[in-house]
Amino acid sequence: MTGLLSDLVVIDLTRALAGPHAGLMLADLGARVIKVESHDGDDSRGWGPPYAGDPAQRRSTYFMSANRNKESVVADLKSEDGKDFLRRLVRRLPRGARVINVDWSEESEFGPPPKRRVPRARFLRDARRAGLTLVAGAIWGRITWGVYWTWDARLTLTLFLWFIFVAYIVLRGAIDEREMRARYCAVLGILGALLVPFIHLSVYLFRTLHPKPILMKPDAPSLPTEMLTTVLLAFAAFTLLYVALLRVRYRYAFDRDALLAESSNAR
């Protein structure tokens, strides 16, 4: 009898618990599930007792139950030969096939972890926001101080922070090797984070044109209750807007990567 998902082909790169069980449900519904194991075999083969037959053969009943109705192939995905085998396997799949993997390694090129899209999306947004802050501050400074720009400590540190944002974005597009790109970008991200407290404390550390904080300071805020309430409400509103924009940018990156992967498989 033909299953509901008989037209679906799944490459299962998962190893334990939730991943194999998800592939099992797809296989039970009729999908063709191809399980990729290392040369040493799946870890769960040795999860026993109980075993089916000789324990030395590493055929635990858990492994057999979690991987029934699946096909099995062997490939070392840490080697170039294994990666090339997986590329050829993906290219031979019919159009519309899915690759399921809940345990991507950092070296994997077939589906980067969603969480790695967050820094890229966040830094793009923060670079725009820092640039807008500098431009708006220059306009305000011309009206208040009579000049568009002066090498004030807070202004200069904010400019350095904007340079770090831009450098991060450029670096992500300039380095193809995933691990090296992640390391260098992490260093830039740490440098940017270290600048934030210095920007806030610059009015205490240096002689500056900017006034001292009236809200984020050791003692009580120097604002009337009405103004403080307005500021807090605005902060909450912009925080929600920040989360919404981040989710939109994240979804855009996810859809873009999926489209690029589909185009690559089609070729």
Residues 68-97: tens digit of each pLDDT:
888 888 888 888 888 888 888 877 776 655
Residue from 141, 108, 163 nearest 210 by CA: 141
User: In this predicted structure, what is the pLDDT of residue 119?
Assistant: 53
pLDDT > 60? residue 102: no
Give the integer Cα–Cα distance in Å for 58 and 41.
Answer: 9
Q: Does position 49 have pLDDT exceeding 90, yes or no?
A: no
Long-range contacts of 112-118 (CB under 8 A, 24+ apart): 112/178, 112/257, 114/250, 114/254, 116/182, 117/250, 117/253, 117/254, 117/257, 118/246, 118/250
The 10s digit of each residue's pLDDT in 209-245 is 777 777 777 777 777 888 888 988 999 999 999 888 8
pTM of the model: 0.42
Token readout for 56 is 């030395």
Looking at the DSSP assignment, which residues form a beta bridge with residue 74? Answer: 37
Which top CATH class is 9-100?
alpha beta
